[in-house]
Amino acid sequence: MFLSARGKEVDKLIGFALGADDYITKPFSPRELVCRVKAQLRRAGLPQTTIRRVQVGALVLFLDECRVEKDGRPVELTSVEFQILALLASHPNQILSREQIFERVWKEESAGCDNTIMVHIRHLRQKLEDDPSAPRWIVTKKGLGYKLVDPDAMP
């Protein structure tokens, strides 16, 4: 499969002559590329991998792609923000302390990490919450930590 900036017919013909099964030119849609790769795998008879995902209400995390959608719309997160959210989403409605979050995401002891976690949680709230000053998704339990909840499932 070729992915190229060269889109002239002669370039495509050369690509196919060199043995390409498919030829995609830039700009391209990442989703279309994934579909084309899956189609090639089907034709080759190779097993397709299933995309691991975690869903909490309208929030969907595609773990293998490090991608998040809320209400079907993409949410742009940094790598650390994604890791924190994935950790919280893998333990929905369960309180995780700042120390637990730090140790699981950074893979080291949490000596004085409170401010680091608070900053990342604030950034996550700015990206996920309708009103970050009144969070409904990432809830703080004073003195205990944070938990991810589905606000629409709350009584």
pLDDT tens-place values along the chain, 155 residues long? 888 888 898 988 888 888 888 888 888 888 888 888 888 877 777 665 666 889 999 999 998 888 999 999 999 999 999 999 999 999 989 999 999 999 999 888 877 666 889 999 999 999 999 999 999 999 999 989 999 998 888 66
Q: What is the pLDDT of residue 141?
A: 93
Q: 78: which residues sit within 8 A by CB, 6+ positions away?
A: 123
Every domain of the chain and the residues it spans: 2-44, 53-153
User: At what angle are helices 98-106 and 114-128 packed, to 10 degrees?
Assistant: 90
Architecture of the structural domain at 53-153: Orthogonal Bundle (1.10)
Q: What is the pLDDT of residue 47?
A: 61
